Amino acid sequence: MYDAICSQCGVATQVPFSPRADKPVYCQDCYKTVAGRRTRT
Ligand SMILES: [Zn+2]
């Protein structure tokens, strides 16, 4: 796991992949929200 900062709420979180500058990183809560929004389109 890698330490990362959530791009949505700014909380410290951990992700199973290496954080990349060109990709936003989300904590578990925000990931659900963002993923839910995306599939809703
Ligand atoms: Zn978050």
- Domain span including residue 18: 2-40
CA of 22 to the centre of ligand 1 (A): 17
CA of 9 to the centre of ligand 1 (A): 4
pTM, full prediction: 0.72
User: What does the pLDDT average to over 1-6?
Assistant: 93
Check: CB of residue 9 under 8 Å from CB of residue 28: no
> Cβ atoms within 10 A of the Cβ of 26, count?
20
| pLDDT band (50, 70, 90) for residue 5 | very high
Strands (E), 1-41: 2-5, 12-15
CA of 36 to the centre of ligand 1 (A): 14
Q: Please provide the average confidence, as pLDDT, over all residues in the chain.
A: 86
Q: Which residue did the predictor score with more confidence, 1 or 21?
A: 1
CA of 5 to the centre of ligand 1 (A): 8
| pLDDT band (50, 70, 90) for residue 12 | very high
Structural domains in the chain (count): 1
pLDDT at 29 over 60: yes
pLDDT of residue 4: 93
